Amino acid sequence: MAAGGSTRTDRPGTNGHAAAPTPPGDAPVRQASLREHNLGLVLRHVGAAPRPPSRADISAATGLTRATVSALVDDLIGGRLLTEVDPAPRTGAGRPAAGLVLAANGPAGLGLEINVDYLAACVVDLAGTVRHRIVHRADQRPNTPAEVLTGLARLAAAARSAAGAQALTLAGAALAVPGLVTDAGLVRLAPNLGWRDVDVPGILGDHPALSGTPLTVDNEANLAALGELHAAPPGPANFLYISGEIGIGAGIVLHGKLFRGARGWSGELGHVPVHPDGPACRCGSRGCLEQYAGQEAILSAAGLAGHGLSPDAAVAGLAELADAGDAAATAALTSAGTALGVAVAGVVNLLDVDTVVLGGVYAPLAPWLRPAVEAQLRQRVLTAAWSPVRVRPSVLGGDAAVVGAAGSVVRAVRDHPARWLTVLA
């Protein structure tokens, strides 16, 4: 893994591959960049088409000549970005033409996730299908960063093998971490892991499982929000994604794009004050949202902490109890939802988003959290009277960050196929 490849996802020109030769706005368009543009055009058209289009269909839709389309399609097939499939039978006259689909045996994205109580990896193909997924549940807080990353590299190695066995090639890897990440992939601070200034690319670069694979590192809530934005069905153009885990993060999507703030450290929802004089938080402050609505705070309020249950089993148990009408469980979830609603009301008053997506463990707990969140929003959001805020669970649930990470690699290939072809050549 090259150090230069350790950059954020979803930023043009920084996805770890060689930069495309894009001319400045007023320079003439060169032949090479025209080809790059048209490769992307054809690939996007196939990706978005409701059924496999023929070369003639693509020519008609894009305005490119049939000869140009054929040459581009041949390049994309050669680069394992497109595959020909049997034509659908036609009712009209003439020999039916072969249809084109995104290749199921071409480049894939490796998604990785470090969270407080689990590690995860997944492989997503060019069409966005999850082809491999593995979660290793274990509290990571007792481990050093190097130990955590060694554990993660093991999952990455298994994922690489699984990808290879399905004829997929990893175009890159993206890692989701619950903390503040710099452009160079340095984790400045991950309070719940106890990490400060951990050089993730520097450490992971030594592991053979990731050697030679461009790596990006990003905040887990940001990658989860991107996953949700590009899920099926896709997220709305404007939403606040809330990642409820042991820590609480947020990814802000505005006008269909991830909003990163001035320095890329936006979305620290877990440390928004709810009761300024409340209990002390790991971050050094008091009364932060995490103290009321973090996974451990909820389980503890419901009487489910300290029974030796795994966090996953405890969350599932909490949902079962709440479903059965258990008073302590429903009170704990209402209380957490109220605190969440207070913090989110402030965000909506500030940012004017109209949808809130409950992700992480909040997704399975949404039936009991949502009414309390909505009650606070109705009371506290200035625009709520004529423009109610929609609250809904995440489509991807607990997998949003790791699937979003893998998806960000695949989207970079789909957006810039010429770079992938250059890497292959």
- Interface positions with a copy of itself (CB under 8 A): 180, 188-189, 191, 237-238, 250, 252, 254-255, 260-269, 271-276, 283-286, 288, 342-343, 345-347, 349-354, 379-383, 386-387
How much is the CA Rg of the chain, to the nearest whole Å?
23
CB 254 → a copy of itself: shortest distance, Å?
Answer: 6
CA 141 to chain CA mean position, Å: 23
**Distance between CA atoms of 68 and 75, rounded to whole angstroms?**
11
Number of C-beta neighbours around residue 129 at 10 A? 12
Q: Does residue 15 sit in helix, strand or coil?
A: coil
CB 259 → a copy of itself: shortest distance, Å?
Answer: 8
Residue 199 makes CB contacts below 8 A (sequence gap 6+) with 185, 186
CB 181 → a copy of itself: shortest distance, Å?
Answer: 12
CB 283 → a copy of itself: shortest distance, Å?
Answer: 6
Q: Does residue 171 sit in helix, strand or coil?
A: strand
User: Which of 95, 255 has the CB closer to a copy of itself?
Assistant: 255
User: Which of 292, 420 has the CB closer to a copy of itself?
Assistant: 292
Residue 421 makes CB contacts below 8 A (sequence gap 6+) with 39, 75, 79, 81
User: Which of 338, 408 has the CB closer to a copy of itself?
Assistant: 338
What residues form DSSP beta bridges with 99? 85
CB 335 → a copy of itself: shortest distance, Å?
Answer: 12
User: Which of 215, 381 has the CB closer to a copy of itself?
Assistant: 381
User: Which of 239, 420 has the CB closer to a copy of itself?
Assistant: 239
Full DSSP string of 32-64: HHHHHHHHHHHHHHHHH-SS---HHHHHHHH--
User: Which of 124, 301 has the CB closer to a copy of itself?
Assistant: 301
CA torsion angle for 242, 401, 105, 60 (degrees, to 10)? 30
CB 68 → a copy of itself: shortest distance, Å?
Answer: 16
User: Which of 47, 264 has the CB closer to a copy of itself?
Assistant: 264
CB 184 → a copy of itself: shortest distance, Å?
Answer: 15
Query: Where do we find the tokens 């009991």?
Result: 368
